[in-house]
Chains A and B, each alone.
Chain A
Amino acid sequence: MILRNSHILIMIVTLLMSSKEHPYVDPTYRLINTTTEYLAGDNIVLEISATTDDIPLLKIMGNQGIILIKPLKNDAHLKYPIPQFISSEAGVLYWKLLQTNLEGKLKILPKNIHHIESYVGPPTLEASKDDFTMITILPVDEFDNPQLDNTTVTLKNFMDFKKEEKDLMINNLFTFDILNAHTSTGKLITTVTSGNVSSKEHTIDIMAGRAVDFTLSRKRNHPYADGNQTLQLITSSITDRYGNTVSDGTLVTFYIQTEHGATRQTTATTINGVATANLLHPEKAESWEVRALIPNMAVSNYMKIEFLPAIKDFDIQITGRSIRVTSLTSFLGQIIPDGFTVEAIIVGNDSDHNLNKGTLNGDVTFYLDPNVFEKGDYDIKITAGGIVKHLKNVAIE
């Protein structure tokens, strides 16, 4: 009787259990582990009790891929040791016992910060109130796992002999901050720390901004157009709008407009904000208008420069086929420096020649080659230092 009753009881229990059967529970296999949260690097062994002799494989889906684990059969338990390279990866790990309905998830949490990766960009800033750069911080633990939300790191800045500190919270694996520029140039040094772990040092250069307009000055040894001395054009110290000297090597272009309508140009680069250009004096009296500019940024004032005539007169001696221009003296009566240009225009009946020569010891001699200049009458025009002398109908033998 008793036996029979217990049989009925078992049957009822079995019936009740089977009628309540959940689609995802396989009664043959049962997970023994109760922990579902681990720390990266923990030794994780999934233990599963089985009522059969089958040894199913365990499928693990980590962050990067899938592996299969063979169990170690121990007593009635199947032990699945999760390899270190999977258990050290923070994130949600999914496992499934193959050919069964048993599946589950483990959460692996990152360990404390071991290394702080930080990126700063852009690396240079313009001295101003509105330029800024950004630091992005990706702290990781010893297994290269990013940190959980709300982990705190400290951002430290140093600029103008002032230290600043700010706490930042990780969200979505990272955190970031905006670093504003100052109005003075210099270096902004920044780093990120957490406990005794620090990132590398980042140096952000704050450079002078766009140059503002400047003035021009000149320096010369005498005002005479001797074609020998140099004229120096000097800019004032070029700065940005906050008075920061522009970077060395900023290119300044000087434009020179002569009274005859010609334009000359030269360039110079700045050193300590000052650009200096050197120009040779002209060879005849002229008036110049000079302006310097940094294209698309800044210009100087216009400056007028007058050049006085260096020579007042000269002599011409014609002997045979030689035309000697002599007594070329400069503003003190000294011999004009060598290389001063003398121009001779020699016009015959059917020829027109233009000869140029530099002086040597205040003299120039033009030789009229018989192969070029046939015997006959020529008009000779000599020009030097803006003075023109005209000889008509000179007979050349």
Chain B
Amino acid sequence: MNNFSVNILRSGLVLLYLGLIACVILAIGSVYSYLNTGADRSKMLHTEQLEQRTYRPIITWDTTAVKGRSVNKTMLATIEKDYLNAWRVKANALKNNDINGVSDFYTKRSLGKLKSIIDYNIKNGTTVEMTTLEHHPKIEFMSEDGQIVVISDTEVLQYQKTYQDNQIIDEQNTSNDYKVVLLLQDGHWHIRHLVSTGVRSITSNFETLPLHSKVRGINYYPQKFPWDTFNDSITKATFDSDFNLLKNQGINTIRIFIGYEDFGKEYVQSKKVNKLLELLDSAHSNDLDVLVTLFDFYGNYDVEDWTMTTQHLNQLIPQIMNHPALLGYDLKNEPDLDYENRSPSMVDSWLEQMIYRLKLLDQDHPVTIGWSNAQAATGLSEDVDFVSFHYYEDLDELSNKWEKLRSQLSEKEIVITEYGWSSYTGILGLSSSEKEQAEYHKKANSILKEKKIPAMSWTLYDFNQVPDKVTGILPWRRNPQKFYGFIDVHGNKKPTFKHLSN
């Protein structure tokens, strides 16, 4: 017994010793590696740092009639970078009323002019948020030694939002013309002169487009790829079989979602667009119209970011706007849910601007915003071609809410772009909710029919997984989202399937 405890004591001591040694070695090791951080030769020059551009307005250069030295692509790229940076830092300075950082892109003298504006605005409690969405610079002249450039930048599409004592007091889109002299100093092009030669106020004036369809629709995600319709591994056959099924049930419209990041933000990826075109082709061959929801999961809205979202539209829309299956665009899914985090004015300004940009590109397809509920649906109704909202409330109130909205928005068509019922039975799986779901859809259909409400249900399939970004990670929020479908995860038609078409 005694011997045994001695052995325990011994082995305990040995283990303690080994543990101590391990700790000491670990400590020495971490001190050593800490002292070596930053000493990596390959990182000494910071050559690995790639500049990420955060300001990308549409810019088209004219270099056809340059006096003096001819301008090559490399020079043009540097001029473009510094010129746009000059606009970016100016926008930043006016927003924050802070001149810091501007001197990298403005000469001392032109900096003074900007500084007096900022001083005046600080004194008067004014701040200005601005961005430029389009530039059409023409290089008039480059000096023989490549140190001076003169540019005429015409039809610069500018947006300005003016705050007085932190209250928005004015929002305006203008088209400006400038003459600019840039000097190359310390390897950067600096603005020496910037002279406004013309300003025109722009008001978007587009006709309201009709919705050429009696919508009987459904929101669509492939069963295996919820919130990821354009996954690499999805095939056209999936779309074909799903859409054929929908067609046979009398559905004539689907609503799909384009993730802003998924499609590559300001660099729209062609492989994603090709998948989207496959989907549209498949929908077309099955007589389905497609309502394309843009900017899914986008949440920045900041004026600083507008050039990026504009680029996104400019690259994406021309590739799909002539497709026969395209019904129209839902600019953003439930943007009113971002009001709390980002402020209504910020979100609305962005929506207005993006509708305007979208309209500039495509004036043949109607645009809507997918508001999350009937109360929010009156927002920006002047700007959209038809109003759309989502209805997850009590069906008994649907008729009243519809009538009320109908009378408020008498000039616009209105579509319910989401409604539905989850057959989630809770953790214990006691109640037979699939029946309830069937009853919901039966009742909904009868109301929709009676009131002649164009609507789109949520959604075709039950899903095994729902991404965190949709509902968050809380199981009582996430799990119901898996059971809104007409077809369950095993591919069986749920009782509600016979009510698929509204």
Contacts and interface: CB of A to CB of B under 8 A. Distances in A.
Interface string B102-117: 0000000110011011
Contacts of B368: none
Given A96-B172, A105-B199, A65 B148 contact: no
A328 interface: no
Contacts of B148: 119, 136, 174
B194 A134 contact: no
A64 B164 CA distance: 19
Interface string A121-152: 11000000000111010100000111000000
B145 A122 contact: yes
Contacts of B478: none
B179 A138 contact: no
A266 interface: no
Contact of A67 (B68, B121, B152): B121
Nearest to B148: A136
A136 B143 contact: yes
A138 B141 CA distance: 13
Given A66-B128, A85-B116, A136-B143, A91 B195 contact: yes
- Among the interface residues A61, A96, A134, which one has the most CB atoms of the partner chain B within 10 A? A61
B170 interface: yes
Given A96-B170, A98-B169, A173-B195, A64 B117 contact: yes
A89 B181 contact: no
Interface in A64-97: 64-68, 70, 83, 85-86, 89-94, 96
A90 B181 contact: no
Interface string B150-185: 101000000010101000011010100111010100
B169 A64 contact: no
Nearest to B192: A138
Contact of A66 (B94, B140, B198): B94
B162 A66 contact: yes
Contacts of B147: 119, 121
Nearest to B161: A66
A133 to B, nearest CB: 7
Contacts of B178: 63
Contact of A132 (B94, B113, B128, B144): B144
B143 A176 contact: yes
Given A119-B148, A138-B181, A174-B141, A57 B164 contact: yes
B197 interface: yes
Contact of B197 (A66, A92, A103, A138): A92
B193 A176 contact: no
B333 interface: no
A33 B229 CA distance: 61
A59 interface: yes
Contacts of A136: 141, 143, 148
A122 B144 contact: yes
B68 A176 contact: yes
Contacts of B372: none
B441 interface: no
A348 interface: no
B152 A65 contact: no
A207 B164 CA distance: 61
B145 A134 contact: yes
B152 A63 contact: no
Contact of B162 (A62, A68, A138): A68
A172 interface: yes
Contacts of A63: 113, 178, 194-196
B19 to A, nearest CB: 66
B82 to A, nearest CB: 17
Interface string A273-286: 00000000000000
Contact of B199 (A65, A86, A92, A132): A92
Contact of A65 (B109, B128, B181, B201): B128
B174 A94 contact: yes
B126 interface: yes
B144 A62 contact: no
B130 interface: yes
Given A119-B148, A146-B195, A172-B179, A67 B117 contact: yes
B36 interface: no
B202 to A, nearest CB: 12
B339 interface: no
Interface residues of A, number: 40
Interface string B340-354: 000000000000000
A59 B160 CA distance: 11
Contact of A59 (B162, B192, B196): B162
Contacts of A86: 117
B74 to A, nearest CB: 19
Nearest to A117: B192
B344 to A, nearest CB: 19
Contacts of A92: 177, 196-199
A134 B126 CA distance: 44
A176 B141 contact: yes
Nearest to B111: A64
A313 B116 CA distance: 95
Interface string B75-95: 000000000000000100010
Nearest to B179: A173
A29 to B, nearest CB: 15
B144 A134 contact: yes
B67 interface: yes
B164 A68 contact: yes
A338 B194 CA distance: 79
Interface in A274-331: none
A61 B156 CA distance: 14
Contacts of B126: 66-68
Given A96-B201, A122-B145, A172-B179, A64 B113 contact: yes
Nearest to B109: A144
B17 interface: no
A341 B170 CA distance: 97
Interface string B187-209: 00000111111110100000000
Nearest to B194: A63
Contacts of B120: 67, 83, 85
Nearest to A146: B193
B124 interface: yes
A65 B117 contact: yes
B143 A62 contact: no
Given A92-B196, A119-B143, A85 B113 contact: yes
Contacts of B68: 134, 176
A92 B183 CA distance: 23
A74 to B, nearest CB: 20
Contacts of A176: 67-68, 141, 143
Contacts of B196: 61-63, 91-94
Given A63-B194, A174-B150, A133 B144 contact: yes
A66 B150 contact: no
Contacts of A145: 195
Nearest to B158: A61
Contacts of A83: 120
Contacts of A93: 196
A253 to B, nearest CB: 32
Interface string B44-68: 0000000000000000000000011
Given A57-B164, A68-B121, A173-B150, 8 more contacts: A64-B194, A66-B130, A67-B117, A83-B120, A85-B113, A91-B195, A105-B199, A138-B181
Q: Which 10 interchain pairs have the tightest Cβ spacing? A: A121-B145, A134-B144, A85-B116, A94-B199, A91-B196, A65-B117, A91-B195, A66-B128, A64-B114, A136-B143
22 contacts: A59-B162, A61-B196, A62-B196, A63-B196, A64-B114, A65-B117, A65-B121, A66-B126, A67-B120, A67-B121, A92-B197, A92-B199, A93-B196, A94-B174, A98-B170, A105-B199, A119-B183, A122-B145, A133-B145, A138-B193, A172-B141, A176-B68
Interface of B: 67-68, 90, 94, 109-110, 113-114, 116-118, 120-121, 124, 126, 128, 130, 140-141, 143-145, 147-148, 150, 152, 160, 162, 164, 169-170, 172, 174, 177-179, 181, 183, 192-199, 201
